[in-house]
Chain A
Amino acid sequence: MTSRAPAILVLEDGRVFRGEAFGSVGETFGEAVFNTGMTGYQETLTDPSYYGQVVAQTSPQIGNTGWNDEDDESRRIWVAGYVVRDPSRVASNWRSKRGLEDELATQGVVGICGVDTRALTRHLREAGAMRVGISSRSTDADALLAKVKASPQMAGANHVGAVTTAEPYTYEAEGTAKYTVAAIDLGIKRNTPRRLAARGITTTVFPAEATVEDLLADGPDAVFLSNGPGDPATADHQVAVTRELLKRNVPVFGICFGNQILGRALGLDTFKLKYGHRGINQPVLDRHTGKVEITAHNHGFALAPPESGEFFDTDFGRVQVSHVCLNDDVVEGLTCLDVPAYSVQYHPEAAGGPHDADYLFDRLTALIDKEGAATDA
């Protein structure tokens, strides 16, 4: 067995965890967050929303199913660093093409393993998400701490530019194309256009800086606001675009970052959660149906709840807080009652995670049909 180099993880508040090198050997910095999913590490690593974050997996056995060619949620791994307890030395799955660690090394992702990830998680839970550094080059904790303190903060960070597509591209509908959607790529995951395509939707994905004119040039039936990394308070351009779309009565569906943009467009503020929601077991109540869905979450920021409670008035009419997280009452979704727009803070496209919220894509086609009928009339 090849022995691993010692590595350290140092948090901004000075707490040090020791482990061993995992993936690429080097030094990395970011915001320390934890993910509680017990499956789906490949999807997590390739989710652009994790850009700038060092992700600790609370699930201890990571890498068991290797790395395959189908489950990437984007073109590359985005996490700034990766923290695991016990990485697998073999990959066992009929779809696996290579090992997780090889993939991390190939993509230059610095990780650390053998860490008491539960202690780390408890610390982040109590102290909140904070900056972190990992080094498998030097085990000088003081030196690393100084660098951590000099690294950029997540609050106020605009990371969308780093992850968005350079050029527009199109994802074709499955079977007969019934609808077209223009998606703003703020860090979109591959499964989103896939779930849209399954409903006969052709999706054109635009760069984050696309204008209303760019988006509506081909007359799409709706605009989709994707998930993405960074502080939603910095997404002023997308908020302005969204307000214009609402004015024009264009159907809008947003998820995650997109939920925060819609919320801001409707006048709500965003704030940073203490340690965020990152996992695939989060219970959300859909107030339309009274049912609970188990959902995939990845958000460090959230919409500030309106003072008036479930319903509130906006420039675009009445809006309902349609979804809430049962664990902590965080706003998880908005539905506009007077304009064709809705959004959720979580991930109906899952990948990884349960498919309970898949119905939200059906709501999009229903909304388009309803708007179409209204326009035709």
Chain B
Amino acid sequence: MPKRDDIHHVLVIGSGPIQIGQACEFDYSGTQACRVLREEGIRVTLVNSNPATIMTDPEYADATYVEPITPEVIEQVIAREKPDALLPTLGGQTALNAAVALHEAGILEKHGVELIGADMDAIQRGEDRQLFKDIVIKAGGEVPRSAVCHNMDEVKATVDDLGLPVVIRPSFTMGGLGSGMAHTWDDVDRIAGNGLAESPTTEVLIEESVLGWKEYELELMRDRNDNVVVVCSIENVDPMGVHTGDSVTVAPSMTLTDREYQSLRDLGIAVLREVGVDTGGCNIQFAIDPATGRIIVIEMNPRVSRSSALASKATGFPIAKIAAKLAIGYTLDEIPNDITKATPAAFEPALDYVVVKVPRFTFEKFPGADPTLTTTMKSVGEAMSLGRTFQQALQKALRSTETKQAGFWTRPDPEDADLANTLEALRTPHDGTLYTAERALRLGGTVDQVHEACKIDPWFLDQVAQLVDLRAEIETAVVMDEALLWKAKRAGCSDAQIAALRPELAGETGVRTLRRRLGLRPVYKTVDTCAAEFAANTPYHYSTYEDETEVAPSNRPKVMILGSGPNRIGQGIEFDYSCVHAVQALREAGYETIMVNCNPETVSTDYDTADRLYFEPLTFEDVAEVHHAEHTSGKAAGGPGVVGVIVQLGGQTPLGLADRLAAEGLPIVGTSPQAIDNAEDRGVFGKLLDELGLVAPAGGAATSFEEARAVAAEIGYPVLVRPSYVLGGRGMEIVYDEDTLAGYISRATEASPEHPVLIDRFLDDAIEIDVDCLCDGEDVYIGGIMEHIEEAGVHSGDSSCALPPITLGAAVIEQIRHYTAKLAFGIGVRGLMNVQYALKDEQLYVLEANPRASRTVPFVSKATAVPMAKAAARIALGARIAELRAEGMLLPEGDGSDTAPDAPISVKEVLLPFKRFRTTEGAGIDALLGPEMKSTGEVMGIDRSFGLAFAKATLAVYGKLPTSGKVFVSVADRDKRSIVFPIRSLVDLGFTVYATDGTGLVLRRHGIDYTPVARHSGGTGTHTQDAVSLIASGGVDFVITTPSASTGPRTDGWEIRSAAAVADIPCVTTIQGAAAATQAIESAARGEITVTPLQELHQRLRGAERV
């Protein structure tokens, strides 16, 4: 059955901003889908509000709408573009929900748009829990005993019947949001209560607990001829009870016999057919009772999912790509296998390696949040590794996560650790359960004891126990001989791990020297989908210690691009975007590109992206070995080998390796590691600023409270305090008085001469400005100047910003251009640099300069139609800005600092994950913005005015923008004057106002009526209601609250913000944000939101040169 000839134009919906449970895997799927559709000659229209995606690069679609994913906006796109069909299965739950909404609103029917790759009834059957349960039973499977409940009475009756513990899952939420395990009646009240509120259909499912059972997933694909293949089986190392996104998982399944595996396969296929998934991918989860083998079908996703991205990377079978082809009518047997080229996609991949995925958490960013792992996903990223054995893959995956522990034995045990408390700790699933299990086994626990505590399958525990035995062998061996070192490397141990066990080897360097002297180097095997049965044409490699390497010699000049590793807050998709751009630009420029990364969610780890892909941990050892393999094989083939290693684009991860890689002799290109260090070293940088005549906020360093007090007294409060080496603003705080400073010094840091605390004057009410620029040593090219909407002090990654700047005068912009150029030349930048300035009282202060790709590069590139990262990669390899201007990559003249007066305004807004976290008591956590970055993703709104652009950005984050209704307002004294004007505007639009007494009084004196509400902590007193309950009950549509000087738990602001976060009500915490939001609401209320494709905007921006 060949391609349908009645589909000429397809609308693809992306997944919007990165959030927990829905990350860049959908950029990977969407990018693949768009590419496939266009290759098939189909016109592609794309809607996605996330600018940091490759899929929204203009070349991936014919019309790219960086617009909010809401039914109203999508209808405008449909009306303008008139697509034949909508493909909704590649943009996660966001796209699927949007498709359902479009269908239910009759929009698809009205415009004659056919849904492809999905069937509305099948979506309902897959996602509605009761319907799904019936289907499983009809397909011959079993489900947990359960009932759907619509209110708390039904919940109580059901729990009485099933007995505690029970699992509670709200319907139609993503990433398991709001679900949880209830062990007590209190838990039932809390989780079911929240769940009913979270579910758009006010439904929760209460079900029999399968806690501790084995958990499996199958990734299936079906074509319209009803051919079905299982692409991959995935086994969760963490048993049932931990969300699969938070579990360590392994592919293929390790502990099933063929009979049991085939039962899952039969059941999966039967369910898939019964649900009626039209074509494409789907994922089914199973639980198996380890004692009896009883199989329970847990759930299915009738779309491409996070697991399908993992399965694609794990097997080399590109699920999204194939799904797109199936959607337009092909059958599996008509599609060639990408990797072998000779065999069809109608087959099931055979792996001759083991894949392990380890989640990455950032609990340290959310003080107070409960770090227990549950059925609600909390991880923000993941790392994947491939090895020829489980132990090897596991150890590589552990060091890939870049946590403090870089694999087993690399950090001391907790001081009081003994077997009893270690076993006790294993009873609660947590980040690093396997580290705890290893410790328990090492402290003398048996596999049975550890299994009893954590329910991890004994097979996995024995694998860890083998590593414990190996450790003993390494520790006790008289000499670390070749045989033992070989054994350790085959088990996946890093040089650093071995060094930790054998101090006499003089550290990692010593182990490396010994290893190389013995000739022990990794070989590289290929991911080929078929366990070597057929020849592979795609160089997708992983390292192992074995006999034969498969690196093909090549005499082309090679460039290695180091990726950014697992996503985390502060280092996410934006850096992968830059890496992918570097690959594209350098491929085009004739280099052989070599990507090294370990993040399975990304576009960079698509084997189609670079010429060669190494799925490897981003550690010094692993990167240096890839370089060795590529360089020596390139030289042997008569070529120059590796001529460049790019470390500037992947964020802190590759940057942190730069010094050692340079010392090892790797050709780091672009800004030199020394120049990067100089910009990061406060002393050196301060001196440079002095020489250049630039001003930074007054500040100093302190190694004790006494010193800190003296510094603060001299420069004056408020001060910004932070540890001297920080990532993503870790540990930064704004301190308004001496008591708080004392608290910070004792609580948040280990101040010492090696690690001083930095104290800077905090510029209250200053405007913060971000600049991205390029420098080649001769010229400087300003990519974009972004004006933050929040005041300085909110981490730049959490601020919304506007480009071009909306309030800066020409003189300031000229000054920024001048300062930026001075800095770029002064530091010695060869590539990208990001500078942050604060403008206060007409004085421009330099806050930071980072000579590397920044988080805003994709936003700037989209807003200005200039591919900054591509240009940076070319500059790193020796191209000049003048040359790139001539080529057309950069503007022929002028740059991002002199935008036309009628240029559209782009606004970046961020998505914050507060609503996913709860304290151990089940309350929400604080939703306040500060100097520490907390957002997971971003959106972009583009329109002709700031208000409209900001309105779009807000819509894209919240899915809604209140244009009437109730606003709650409570602001700090210093903000009371500024709040009057925005509130008056809202009242003019028809909002009614609820306010606390202090704020209300100011409003009343300005003639604004309000309903008084009590602060939560004071009780309701004479008031009839309090702010927190009002917000929690959904009684308001919009919340404006700014923090008073003292922040922390248990203050009013905290409870108000957390209530808004939990209730998912738009909540603004800065006065500038309130003003901007008001403008947005005014614009939206006037109904002026229109849509424009990026291609058209870019043509306008670059129009002059094109004509």
Chain A residues near B (Cβ < 8 Å): 1, 17, 34, 36-40, 42-43, 58-61, 64-65, 68, 70-71, 85-86, 88-90, 92-95, 116-119, 121-122, 125, 279-283, 285, 290-292, 294, 326-328, 350-355
User: Which residues from A are CB-within-8-Å of B225?
Assistant: 290-292
User: Which residues from B are CB-within-8-Å of A294?
Assistant: 229-230, 346-348
Q: How far does the alpha carbon of A94 sit from the alpha carbon of B294 in the complex, in Å?
A: 11
Say yes or no: A40 contacts B258, CB within 8 Å. Answer: yes
User: Which residues from B are CB-within-8-Å of A117?
Assistant: 352
User: Which residues from B are CB-within-8-Å of A354?
Assistant: 230, 262, 265, 348
User: Which of A60, A282, A326 has the most chain B CB atoms closer than 10 A to its own CB?
Assistant: A60
Say yes or no: A36 contacts B348, CB within 8 Å. Answer: no
Say yes or no: A68 contacts B533, CB within 8 Å. Answer: no
User: Which residues from A are CB-within-8-Å of B254?
Assistant: 61, 64
Say yes or no: A327 contacts B343, CB within 8 Å. Answer: yes
> Does B389 reach chain A (CB closer than 8 Å)?
yes
Say yes or no: B343 contacts A326, CB within 8 Å. Answer: yes
How many Å from the CB of A191 to the closest CB on chain B? 10
User: Which residues from B are CB-within-8-Å of A351?
Assistant: 258-259
B550: nearest chain-A partner, CB-CB: A122
> Does B459 reach chain A (CB closer than 8 Å)?
yes
Say yes or no: A118 contacts B352, CB within 8 Å. Answer: yes
User: Which residues from B are CB-within-8-Å of A326?
Assistant: 333, 343-344, 346-347
Say yes or no: A85 contacts B388, CB within 8 Å. Answer: yes
> Does B546 reach chain A (CB closer than 8 Å)?
yes
12 other A-B residue contacts (CB within 8 Å) besides A60-B352, A279-B531: A1-B466, A34-B533, A39-B258, A39-B262, A58-B350, A65-B255, A71-B259, A86-B389, A90-B462, A280-B258, A283-B346, A294-B346
> Does B109 reach chain A (CB closer than 8 Å)?
no
User: Which residues from B are CB-within-8-Å of A282?
Assistant: 347
Contact partner, B292, options A94, A327, A353, Cβ 8 Å:
A94
Contact partner, A119, options B266, B344, B547, Cβ 8 Å:
B547
User: Which residues from B are CB-within-8-Å of A39?
Assistant: 252-253, 256-258, 261-262
Q: What per-residue 1/0 map shows which CB atoms of B450-478 lie under 8 Å from chain A?
A: 00000001110010001001000100000
B331: nearest chain-A partner, CB-CB: A292
Q: 3 closest pairs, A vs B, by CB? A: A40-B258, A352-B258, A119-B548
Q: What per-residue 1/0 map shows which CB atoms of B260-293 lie under 8 Å from chain A?
A: 1110011000000000000000000000001111
Contact partner, B350, options A38, A90, A116, A125, Cβ 8 Å:
A38
Q: How far does the alpha carbon of A38 sit from the alpha carbon of B261 in the complex, in Å?
A: 10
How many Å from the CB of A19 to the closest CB on chain B? 10
Say yes or no: A85 contacts B257, CB within 8 Å. Answer: no
How many Å from the CB of B219 to the closest CB on chain A? 14
Say yes or no: B229 contacts A58, CB within 8 Å. Answer: no
A124: nearest chain-B partner, CB-CB: B532
User: Which residues from A are CB-within-8-Å of B532?
Assistant: 34, 58, 118, 121-122, 125
Q: What per-residue 1/0 map shows which CB atoms of B233-252 lie under 8 Å from chain A?
A: 10000000000000000001
Say yes or no: A59 contacts B462, CB within 8 Å. Answer: no
> Does B226 reach chain A (CB closer than 8 Å)?
yes
User: Which residues from B are CB-within-8-Å of A90?
Assistant: 447, 458-459, 462
Using known A-B contacts A37-B350, A292-B333, determine if residue A71 contacts B293 with beta carbons closer than 8 Å: no
B337: nearest chain-A partner, CB-CB: A327
User: Which residues from B are CB-within-8-Å of A116?
Assistant: 546-548
Q: How far does the alpha carbon of A93 sit from the alpha carbon of B469 in the complex, in Å?
A: 23
User: Which residues from A are CB-within-8-Å of B459?
Assistant: 64, 88, 90, 92
Say yes or no: A118 contacts B525, CB within 8 Å. Answer: yes
How many Å from the CB of A359 to the closest CB on chain B? 13
> Does B615 reach chain A (CB closer than 8 Å)?
no
How many Å from the CB of B161 to the closest CB on chain A? 28
> Does B1051 reach chain A (CB closer than 8 Å)?
no
Q: How large is the interface on B (under 10, 10 to 19, 20 to 34, 35 or more residues)?
A: 35 or more
How many Å from the CB of B334 to the closest CB on chain A? 10
- The 14 sampled A-B contact pairs (Cβ below 8 Å) are A1-B466, A17-B547, A34-B532, A39-B257, A39-B261, A59-B352, A70-B259, A86-B389, A119-B547, A121-B531, A280-B258, A326-B346, A327-B342, A355-B266
Contact partner, A85, options B259, B344, B389, B550, Cβ 8 Å:
B389
- B480-535 contacts to A, CB under 8 A, are 525, 530-535
Using known A-B contacts A39-B257, A40-B257, determine if residue A327 contacts B344 with beta carbons closer than 8 Å: yes
Chain B residues near A (Cβ < 8 Å): 225-227, 229-230, 233, 252-262, 265-266, 290-293, 331-333, 342-344, 346-354, 388-390, 447, 457-459, 462, 466, 469, 473, 525, 530-535, 546-548, 550
User: Which residues from A are CB-within-8-Å of B252?
Assistant: 38-39, 59
How many Å from the CB of B913 to the closest CB on chain A? 36
User: Which residues from B are CB-within-8-Å of A59?
Assistant: 252, 350-352, 531
User: Which residues from B are CB-within-8-Å of A42?
Assistant: 257-258
Q: How far does the alpha carbon of A92 sit from the alpha carbon of B261 in the complex, in Å?
A: 14
Q: How far does the alpha carbon of A95 sit from the alpha carbon of B354 in the complex, in Å?
A: 24
Say yes or no: B530 contacts A283, CB within 8 Å. Answer: no
Q: How far does the alpha carbon of A58 sit from the alpha carbon of B388 in the complex, in Å?
A: 10
Say yes or no: B388 contacts A92, CB within 8 Å. Answer: no
User: Which residues from B are CB-within-8-Å of A355?
Assistant: 262, 265-266
Say yes or no: A281 contacts B354, CB within 8 Å. Answer: no
User: Which of A1, A38, A85, A328 has the most chain B CB atoms closer than 10 A to its own CB?
Assistant: A38
Q: How far does the alpha carbon of A125 sit from the alpha carbon of B530 in the complex, in Å?
A: 12
Q: How far does the alpha carbon of A213 sit from the alpha carbon of B347 in the complex, in Å?
A: 43
Contact partner, B258, options A43, A122, A285, Cβ 8 Å:
A43
Q: How far does the alpha carbon of A58 sit from the alpha carbon of B259 in the complex, in Å?
A: 19
User: Which residues from A are CB-within-8-Å of B548?
Assistant: 116, 118-119, 122
Contact partner, B255, options A1, A17, A92, A283, Cβ 8 Å:
A92
User: Which residues from B are CB-within-8-Å of A119?
Assistant: 546-548
How many Å from the CB of B1101 to the closest CB on chain A? 49
How many Å from the CB of B210 to the closest CB on chain A? 15
Q: How far does the alpha carbon of A87 sit from the alpha carbon of B254 in the complex, in Å?
A: 12
Say yes or no: B344 contacts A93, CB within 8 Å. Answer: no
Q: How far does the alpha carbon of A70 sit from the alpha carbon of B258 in the complex, in Å?
A: 12
Q: How far does the alpha carbon of A291 sit from the alpha carbon of B260 in the complex, in Å?
A: 25
How many Å from the CB of B221 to the closest CB on chain A? 11
How many Å from the CB of A2 to the closest CB on chain B? 11
Q: How far does the alpha carbon of A76 sit from the alpha carbon of B960 in the complex, in Å?
A: 67
How many Å from the CB of A92 to the closest CB on chain B? 4
User: Which residues from A are CB-within-8-Å of B290?
Assistant: 94
Using known A-B contacts A121-B532, A355-B262, determine if residue A292 contacts B352 with beta carbons closer than 8 Å: no
User: Which residues from B are CB-within-8-Å of A60?
Assistant: 352-354, 388-389
User: Which residues from B are CB-within-8-Å of A40?
Assistant: 257-258
Q: How far does the alpha carbon of A125 sit from the alpha carbon of B342 in the complex, in Å?
A: 15
Q: How far does the alpha carbon of A116 sit from the alpha carbon of B522 in the complex, in Å?
A: 13
User: Which residues from B are CB-within-8-Å of A292?
Assistant: 225, 227, 331-333, 346
How many Å from the CB of B392 to the closest CB on chain A? 9
Say yes or no: B348 contacts A64, CB within 8 Å. Answer: no
Q: How far does the alpha carbon of A354 sit from the alpha carbon of B262 in the complex, in Å?
A: 6
A117: nearest chain-B partner, CB-CB: B352
Q: How far does the alpha carbon of A40 sit from the alpha carbon of B230 in the complex, in Å?
A: 16
A122: nearest chain-B partner, CB-CB: B532
User: Which residues from B are CB-within-8-Å of A279?
Assistant: 350, 531, 533
Say yes or no: A61 contacts B354, CB within 8 Å. Answer: yes
User: Which residues from B are CB-within-8-Å of A280?
Assistant: 258, 348
User: Which residues from A are CB-within-8-Å of B349?
Assistant: 281
User: Which residues from A are CB-within-8-Å of B469?
Assistant: 1
Q: How far does the alpha carbon of A71 sit from the alpha carbon of B389 in the complex, in Å?
A: 25
Say yes or no: A350 contacts B343, CB within 8 Å. Answer: no
Say yes or no: B291 contacts A94, CB within 8 Å. Answer: yes
Q: How far does the alpha carbon of A121 sit from the alpha carbon of B265 in the complex, in Å?
A: 27
User: Which residues from B are CB-within-8-Å of A70?
Assistant: 259
How many Å from the CB of B777 to the closest CB on chain A? 47
User: Which residues from B are CB-within-8-Å of A122?
Assistant: 532, 548, 550
User: Which residues from A are CB-within-8-Å of B550?
Assistant: 122
Say yes or no: B535 contacts A125, CB within 8 Å. Answer: yes
User: Which residues from A are CB-within-8-Å of B458?
Assistant: 90, 92
Say yes or no: A93 contacts B257, CB within 8 Å. Answer: yes
B490: nearest chain-A partner, CB-CB: A114
